[in-house]
């Protein structure tokens, strides 16, 4: 369905790393796969006139689950958080409900942004998240999505954090695209700042999240060829925030990535390209893999 929301979110932050340092990150990842199958033998029927009792049909043979591929991320759990939900726009009352984010209260969720042609951020984030899941699973990781377009709205930002916490994730990445002014281009990774209040205490995750975010930024740059944001973070590709419930309430390493600006025509052309989205997923996967294998 078309999406016509046109109010871009406001972003603020501070620089942490130079673009040259991001570009210097050059690491590789690998993986493998496997499969299997099963069948049933035919039954013998009694001949005509026989007093033999016809045997009862056999129960279907149990299907053996397809084994997970073994690879460098075997035993690791990654939670992918596709930003927003394609049906949030139909549930404005529910997503406008205020939830506690530790430093205050915010909306449960938002509709997200869209390109000028109507390609919704929520569609983009699901597509990239599916590609990312495939790449990580091929390396043996257990991947959990906070949602898979299987809910009428949300989940709320506090629940998104709880999903990662409950999974005991080794890394969580929330996938987004920005909605800034035309001319503002590039990607940036949002890192959690130090927060302590209510249910929020990020002291233990600030440093590992910075490491995760730095690796994702460097390898996203390499995989996509996109530059770090020219409007946030002094071209470092990194931004620190303390106003996002999904970060404040996380107890495991977590970052957001804004893959580009949907309101800029040049960035929009990339974000709507399936080929580029595959590169974006590859860059994020490479960053997660290098962080988990460090």
Name the active-site residue from 137, 211, 258, 275. Answer: 258
Which of 5, 20, 61, 1 minimizes the C-alpha distance to 37?
A: 61
- Check if 258 is active-site: yes
> What is the DSSP pairing of strand 98-100 with strand 200-201?
unpaired
The structure tokens listed for 36 are: 């299997």
With the CA atoms of 227, 250, 242 and 293 taken in that order, what torsion angle do they form, in degrees rounded to the nearest 10?
-30
Contact 158, 151 (CB under 8 A): no
Contact 169, 217 (CB under 8 A): no
Which of 104, 96, 122, 140 minimizes the C-alpha distance to 179?
A: 122
Collapsed DSSP state (helix, strand, coil) of residue 158: helix
Measured CA to CA, the distance from residue 89 to residue 5 in angstroms comes to 9
Residue-by-residue DSSP string for 120-138? BHHHHHHHHHHHHHHHHHT
Contact 249, 57 (CB under 8 A): no
Which of 107, 113, 94 minimizes the C-alpha distance to 4?
A: 113
> ∠ CA(203), CA(208), CA(212), 5° rounding?
140
Which of 210, 211, 225, 216 minimizes the C-alpha distance to 258?
A: 216
**H-helix or E-strand spanning residue 197:** strand 196-197
Catalytic residues: 258
């Amino acid at each position: 369905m078309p999406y016509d929301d046109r109010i871009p979110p406001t972003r603020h932050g501070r620089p942490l790393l130079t673009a040259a340092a991001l570009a210097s990150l050059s690491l590789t990842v690998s993986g493998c796969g496997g499969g299997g199958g099963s069948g049933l033998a035919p039954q013998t029927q009694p001949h005509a006139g026989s007093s033999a009792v016809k045997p009862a049909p056999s129960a279907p043979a149990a299907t053996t689950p397809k084994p997970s591929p073994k690879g460098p991320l075997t035993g690791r759990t990654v939670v992918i958080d596709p930003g927003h939900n394609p049906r949030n726009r139909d549930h404005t009352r529910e997503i406008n409900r205020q939830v506690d984010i530790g430093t205050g209260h915010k909306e449960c969720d938002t509709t997200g942004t869209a390109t000028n042609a109507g390609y919704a951020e929520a569609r983009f984030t699901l597509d990239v998240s599916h590609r990312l899941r495939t790449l990580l699973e091929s390396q043996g990781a257990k991947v959990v999505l906070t949602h898979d377009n299987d809910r009428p709205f949300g989940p709320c930002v506090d629940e998104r954090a709880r999903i990662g916490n409950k999974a005991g994730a080794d890394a969580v990445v929330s996938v987004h695209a920005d909605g800034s002014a035309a001319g503002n281009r590039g990607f940036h990774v949002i890192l959690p700042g130090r927060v302590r209040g209510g249910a929020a205490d990020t002291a233990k995750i600030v440093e590992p999240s910075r490491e995760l975010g730095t690796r994702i930024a460097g390898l996203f740059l390499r995989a996509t060829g996109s530059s770090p944001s020219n409007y946030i973070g002094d071209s470092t590709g990194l931004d620190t925030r303390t106003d996002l419930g999904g970060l404040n309430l996380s107890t495991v390493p977590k970052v957001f990535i804004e893959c580009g600006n949907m309101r800029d025509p040049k960035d929009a052309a990339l974000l709507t390209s399936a080929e580029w989205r595959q590169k974006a997923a590859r860059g994020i996967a490479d960053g997660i893999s290098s962080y988990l294998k460090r």
